[in-house]
Amino acid sequence: MNGGRDLALSAADVKLKAKAKSISMPRSNLALKQRERSKTLSFRRTGVSAEVFTGKEKFEKKVVEKDEDTKMRIRAVLQKSCLFQHVDQEQLETIVEAVEEVHFNEGDVIINQGEPGDNFYCIEMGAAEAWITKPGSKRPEKVKQYSSGETFGELALLHNAPRAATVKASTDCVLWAVDRSTFRAIIMTTTRHKREMYESFLKEVPLLKSLNNYERATIADVLEPEYFGAQHNIVVEGGKGDKFYLIEEGEAEARTQGKVVMHYKRGDYFGELALLNDAPRAATVTTLTKCKVASVNRDQFKAKFRFTAPDGLQSRIVVQRLLGKLEDIMQRKKENYEKMNAESAVSPASAPFSPAAAEESPPSPTNKTLHA
C-alpha cells in the first residue's frame, strides 16, 4: 500500500497509471469499460448541476448473467447494507440481476474525486479507503476506511454531482457494482428522502454537533421514524434494550422506580445504553404528548459504524466521538442520578434532569475505551 502518494498525482497521471496497470493485469470488462467511460464523460460533460429527482426517471432493467451461487453471495452482501433495508423482494432481485462483479488490485483508484458517478459499490471482499482533496489544497486527506459489506459511491448518484472523494483499493478487492440507473430507480428514492428528511433535524441534535455533514447524513441512513401517542411507555425499566431514540417532535419523561428523573424535548435522546451494551433499560420513558422519534437499532448502528481496521480511521473516529461522548454523558447522568438520590433523601422536590444541561457541564474524566 502506498498511502496517499498516488492521490497527490494529477488526474492525468492517475489515469495513465491505471491504464498501464490495466495492460499488465486481468480486469473485468466493467472495470475497463468504466475507465473508458469516465474518460469520455469527463470530456462530454462540461458541468454537473444539482438535479431534482421526480421519481419518474425511465429505467430499463439490466441483467448480468450469473449463477445461483453468485446471486446468493450478492444477496447476502446487499442485505447487510442499511441502504438496502427498505427494498422489497422484487427490487432486491432487480438489483441482484443488474449487479456486476468487478475486481481491483491493491492501490487501484476505483473512484476519482471530481469525475461523474457511474456506479455505486458494495465490497464483497477486501478493503478500500476514501480520500478528499479540499479546494485550495494539494494534499488529500483520508476520510474513511471500508471493509467487506460496506458501500460507497452513493453521493454522486444521489445528487447527480461530481464524485466527492477518491476511493482506492487498499487491498485486492472484489466489488459488486450497481449501475447508475438501477441505483437511482431503486435505492435513491428512500435514501435521498431519508437523508433530506433528517438533515436539518440532525443538525439540531446537540449530541451530533461534532460530526461533519457526511457523517450526519450516514447516520440518517440508519434512522427509522416511530410515532407514539401520549402516555405511552417507549422503554420500560428493567426491559431488554436494543434501540436508541432521538426525539423529533413532542415531549417525554423518564422515571426510575416511579420517580421522574429526566424530561425530554426535540433534539434530546434516550436509550443510549442500548447502543453500547445489552444492559437492561435503566428507566421507563413515557411520552407526555404525541411523539415522533427517530430510532436506531443497535445492530444496524454497529454494522454501519463498526471498526474496520486497526489504525485511526474515520468510521472508528465517528464511533469514538459519538460513543465517547455518550460515555461522558452517561457518566454524568449516573452521577446526577446518584446526586438526586442523595438529595431526594433530604428534599423530595428535586427538578428532573435535563440532557441538554448535562452536555453543557464539563466532561467528567471517563476512560474513553472503544466499544466494538
Ligand X SMILES: Nc1ncnc2c1ncn2[C@@H]1O[C@@H]2COP(=O)(O)O[C@H]2[C@H]1O
Q: Using CB under 6 A as the criterion, which residues of the chain lie in contact with ligand X when the complex forms?
A: 111, 117, 130, 143-144, 152-156, 163-165, 167, 214
Q: Residue 102 pairs with which residues in a beta bridge?
A: 175
Report in angstroms how near the CB of residue 163 gets to ligand X at its nearest: 4
Residue 109's CB is within 10 A of a number of other CB atoms, namely 23
Nearer to ligand X, 122 or 167 (CB): 167
Three-point CA angle 151, 107, 109, nearest 5°: 60
Nearer to ligand X, 161 or 276 (CB): 161
Report in angstroms how near the CB of residue 109 gets to ligand X at its nearest: 11
Report in angstroms how near the CB of residue 204 gets to ligand X at its nearest: 21
Nearer to ligand X, 152 or 201 (CB): 152
Known binding residue 281? Answer is: yes
Nearer to ligand X, 111 or 293 (CB): 111
Which among 250, 205, 203, 207 is positioned nearest to 226, based on CA atoms?
250
CA distance 51 to 57: 12
Report in angstroms how near the CB of residue 32 gets to ligand X at its nearest: 20
Report in angstroms how near the CB of residue 148 gets to ligand X at its nearest: 16
Which among 231, 233, 293 is positioned nearest to 266, based on CA atoms?
293
Report in angstroms how near the CB of residue 48 gets to ligand X at its nearest: 11
Nearer to ligand X, 191 or 284 (CB): 191
Residue 311's CB is within 10 A of a number of other CB atoms, namely 8
Nearer to ligand X, 95 or 273 (CB): 95
Residue the block writes with cell 442523595: 342
Known binding residue 93? Answer is: no
Q: What cell was used for 343?
A: 438529595
DSSP 284-333: EEEESS-EEEEEEEHHHHHHHH---SSS--HHHHHHHHHHHHHHHHHHHH
CA distance 287 to 250: 8
Q: Write the burial class of residue 55 (CB in 10 Å: 0-12 exposed, 13-18 middle, 19+ buried).
A: exposed
Q: What cell was used for 282?
A: 435503566
Report in angstroms how near the CB of residue 218 gets to ligand X at its nearest: 8
Nearer to ligand X, 18 or 167 (CB): 167
CA distance 200 to 329: 23
Residues making up the binding site: 154, 163, 272, 281
Residues making up the binding site for 3',5'-cyclic AMP: 154, 163, 272, 281
